[in-house]
Chain A
Amino acid sequence: GENVEQHPSTLSVQEGDSAVIKCTYSDSASNYFPWYKQELGKRPQLIIDIRSNVGEKKDQRIAVTLNKTAKHFSLHITETQPEDSAVYFCAASRAGKNYGQNFVFGPGTRLSVLP
């Protein structure tokens, strides 16, 4: 089955700097890669996702890149702000109505943005 690794487990950056979190996956059939943000005591919420037919996707200060050959994808946050402090989870799955959308999540990265 799918296995997702995520690095680093913790990341501290100064406000205004960039943060990069990297995930690797094992199942070459995975084609959907979401990123979730979980603030302390709250539920995970989708912040961005990417499909295997796209190499990069951007939404304001957040971007995700995908390298299918190497089977890794990364989250990039630019101009970090204190409210970006949270735990970030990547996931991989086979998307589409014929599949179970069985997300396999990475273990998470705790991002701290220092003022």
Chain B
Amino acid sequence: DADVTQTPRNRITKTGKRIMLECSQTKGHDRMYWYRQDPGLGLRLIYYSFDVKDINKGEISDGYSVSRQAQAKFSLSLESAIPNQTALYFCATSGGGDTQYFGPGTRLTVL
């Protein structure tokens, strides 16, 4: 679904570095989400945002922060990356219904 994009698609970084993952959408949706995917654990919610002024913690928010710069943009930051944050990160959006539309994912490796 090209309406939800993520940058970068792959990133290798070192322990202690600050990393920002970006998500943009052209679907006009109000709600945006950040998930983390680890093998055998499925998708776990990190943060979600109902609109620009409404940001909420998800199941595993420790070590992460987010910024909703505009309706169409939602960024995830790792202030000081650690190896156990190595994972596949997905952004998702939803509009008036309940369906969530996922971006292509960002594969992050922390050495």
Contact = CB atoms under 8 A, between A and B. Distances in A.
- Give the bracket for the number of chain B residues in contact with chain A: 20 to 34
Given A43-B1, A101-B94, A34 B42 contact: no
**Majority-rule SS of A interface residues:** loop
Contacts of A93: 98
A6 B43 CA distance: 13
A107 B41 contact: yes
Interface residues of A, number: 26
B98 A34 contact: yes
A14 to B, nearest CB: 25
Contacts of B45: 102-104
B40 A43 contact: no
A101 B98 contact: yes
A46 B88 CA distance: 18
Which 10 pairs across A and B sit closest by C-beta, in order of nearness? A105-B42, A43-B102, A105-B43, A107-B42, A95-B98, A44-B102, A108-B42, A32-B98, A46-B99, A43-B104
Interface of A: 1, 6, 9, 32, 34, 42-46, 49, 89, 91, 93, 95-97, 100-108
